């Protein structure tokens, strides 16, 4: 889209180290967050200044490092179940000398709540893992959110297939349907306020409804 291309042209140039990490991610086919999406997430972090963050879906460590860049004094717990990507993330975070701020856990996020709870509460929870399990992740980890914290869910428009499901087929159509159901469920929760922002691959921003 011309609009997205225009907005990307306005983004500041990341460091050479981050550019290299982006290049490695694209080369390996790792689904790192899109430029406009990560820029939006970093701006949310700058505005809200979270001290503790939880990321569900580390991949190669790209988004965790960008989150830390936006809040250099924060503490981040991040979870990755793929052992190969976990090892890559460990190496990348070490290269950036960020081990004191980023704690990577290897395993299924649906099985690690007890361990994750040791670092709670979280001022920001970032969901960017298995798309069909977003609602499960939300149910499990929302209780660990701080009173004024936020939950950010990526890929909630899923390449445009969520809004135009007839354009998808096979596995993509099934995932799009699951994300559509998640969006419907999330925006109907009376205990939370959610806005879906059509930037990057679609970002949902959720905060607690303090009137409830």
Which residues does the annotation place in the binding site for Mg(2+)?
A: 128, 154-155
Alpha-carbon distances of 55 from 30, 78, 123, 188, rounded to whole Å: 16, 4, 11, 23
Binding residues for S-adenosyl-L-methionine: 33, 63, 80, 108-109, 128
- Radius of gyration of the chain from its Cα atoms, rounded to whole angstroms: 16
How far, in Å, CA of 51 to CA of 73, rounded? Answer: 7
- Six-digit token string for 30: 């790792």
- Six-digit token string for 206: 């959720």
Closest CA to 128 of 189, 67, 209: 67
- Six-digit token string for 3: 């609009």
Is-contact 101 78, C-beta < 8 A?
A: no
Give the H/E segment covering residue 171.
Answer: helix 170-187
- Six-digit token string for 71: 């809040």
Closest CA to 163 of 196, 188, 195, 136: 196
Binding residues: 33, 63, 80, 108-109, 128, 154-155
How far, in Å, CA of 39 to CA of 160, rounded? Answer: 20
């Amino acid at each position: 889209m011309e609009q997205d291309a225009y907005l990307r042209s306005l983004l500041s140039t990341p460091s050479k180290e981050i550019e290299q990490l982006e290049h490695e991610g694209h080369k390996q086919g790792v689904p790192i967050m899109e430029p406009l999406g990560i820029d939006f997430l970093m701006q949310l972090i700058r505005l809200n200044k979270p001290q503790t963050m939880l990321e569900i879906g580390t991949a190669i460590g790209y988004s965790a490092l960008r989150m830390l860049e936006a809040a250099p004094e924060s503490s981040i717990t991040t979870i990755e179940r793929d052992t190969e990507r976990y090892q890559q993330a460990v190496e990348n975070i070490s290269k950036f000398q960020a081990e004191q701020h980023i704690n990577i856990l290897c395993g299924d996020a649906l099985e690690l709540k007890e361990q994750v709870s040791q670092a709670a509460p979280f001022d920001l929870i970032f969901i960017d893992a298995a798309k069909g399990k977003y609602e499960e992740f939300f149910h499990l980890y929302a209780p660990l959110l701080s009173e004024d914290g936020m939950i950010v869910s990526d890929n909630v428009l899923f390449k445009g297939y969520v809004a135009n499901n007839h354009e998808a087929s096979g596995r993509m159509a099934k995932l799009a349907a699951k994300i559509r159901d998640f969006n419907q469920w999330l925006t109907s929760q009376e205990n939370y306020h959610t806005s879906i922002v059509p930037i990057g691959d679609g970002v949902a921003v959720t905060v607690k409804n303090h009137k409830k």
